Amino acid sequence: MKTKVLISAVSLLFVHVSLAETVFVSLEKDNAIAVVDPIAGKLIKTVNIGQRPRGIQLSPDAQTLYIATSDDDTVLEVDANTLVVKNKLPSGEDPETFAINSDGTRMYVSNEDDNQVTVIDLSTKQAVHTIGVGVEPEGIAVSPDKQWVVSASETTNMVHWIDAKTYEIKANTLVDPRPRALSFTADSQQLWVTSEINGTLMIIDVASKEITQRVHFSVPGVGKEKIQPVGVIVDKGRKWGYVALGPANRVAVINAQTYEVEKYLLVGERVWNLAFSPEQKRLYTTNGVSHDISIIDLDEHKVTKSIAVGRYPWGVAVKP
């Protein structure tokens, strides 16, 4: 009897886990990652991982979790199921953000202190190239068609277009002050870039490498100085784009066809990074100062829940 109960309990647990997506959040101050079940709305556990974890991403097959532990000067390769560290990648000094190409063969890491981008071969776990870019590179993205790697230099106020095959900078686009985050549209035709100081979102045409649209934000009751756009993400159908507005504690919902801001959604304090659920039904935000994440229902564009995760949540990755 006991065995039967145990088996059904375990199978129930299995069904539950397999149905729900899992959200991983890097906790900059706790030196850990938080594991959250967003459907149940619960923090499942917190796992110590390394010094000052920030950038966090899953491999395209969702089996490996990559976490930049900035103060350990490495990017960790972690088993996404067991959360056991498998490898330490040679990322160069103080890695903060990185990007992985769509087939999971290359990783591009921003080295803010060295003003360079390190390219890592994910099969051999070796750094295969370094590319000199502008001062303080931070935001980095690979186009879904694997043609471009784009790095944003915070101080130079430029995005650098690196050819993904030759590792040469082919073009530079001057952007608004302190570009923070970048995101390609799924069709690789546009690059969305946020400017923290100017409080704007720029949309760059990939073919011409020129800014074609500039979106301004204005939140009723919130001072302009608090509007500091950071994380940016665009949905698969290029219908909606979302921008985290930092200390304005809002996520801006942008119509990706008309470039109008349709809504500002109230989330936690200093909203930083964003990630979609696998079906793009939900959006997850990390709220650095209020130590939680918020869940946004994308059908209704409503914030449904905020869950406390630990100190200074920075990045977020979602495993199906």
Partner 1 sequence: MRIFHYWFALWGIVFRELLRFVKQKERFLSALVRPLIWLFVFAAGFRAALGIAIIPPYETYILYEVYITPGLIGMIQLFNGMQSSLSMVYDREMGSMRILLVSPLPRWYLLLSKLLAGVFVSILQVYVFLAIAWFYEIQAPLEGYLWLLPALLLSGLMLGALGLLLSSFIKQLENFAGVMNFVIFPMFFMSTALYPLWKLQESSAWLYKIAEYNPFSQAVEFLRFALYAQFNQHAFVYTAVAFALFLILAIIGYNPSKGMMKRKGR
List residues binding partner 1 (CB under 8 A): 41, 220-222, 249, 266-269, 290, 294-295, 303-306
Taking 3-state DSSP, the helix, strand and coil percentages for the chain, each rounded to the nearest 5, stand at 10, 55, 40
Angle 169-274-230 from CA coordinates, rounded to 5°: 60
Record the tokens describing residue 233, joined without a space.
């993400």
- Measured from the CB atom, the residue of 168 and 300 that comes closer to partner 1 is 300
Q: How far is the CB of 41 from partner 1 (least distance, A)?
A: 7
d(CA 251, CA 246): 8
- Cα dist from 86 to 63, 66, 80, 281, whole Å: 12, 10, 10, 31
Record the tokens describing residue 169, joined without a space.
């900078």
Strand partners, 286: 293
Q: How far is the CB of 253 from partner 1 (least distance, A)?
A: 13
- Measured from the CB atom, the residue of 158 and 295 that comes closer to partner 1 is 295
- Measured from the CB atom, the residue of 41 and 132 that comes closer to partner 1 is 41
DSSP string of 27-63, one letter each residue: ETTTTEEEEEETTTTEEEEEEE-SSSEEEEEE-TTSS
- Measured from the CB atom, the residue of 44 and 47 that comes closer to partner 1 is 44
Q: How far is the CB of 61 from partner 1 (least distance, A)?
A: 32
Q: How far is the CB of 252 from partner 1 (least distance, A)?
A: 15
Q: How far is the CB of 186 from partner 1 (least distance, A)?
A: 28
- Measured from the CB atom, the residue of 157 and 294 that comes closer to partner 1 is 294
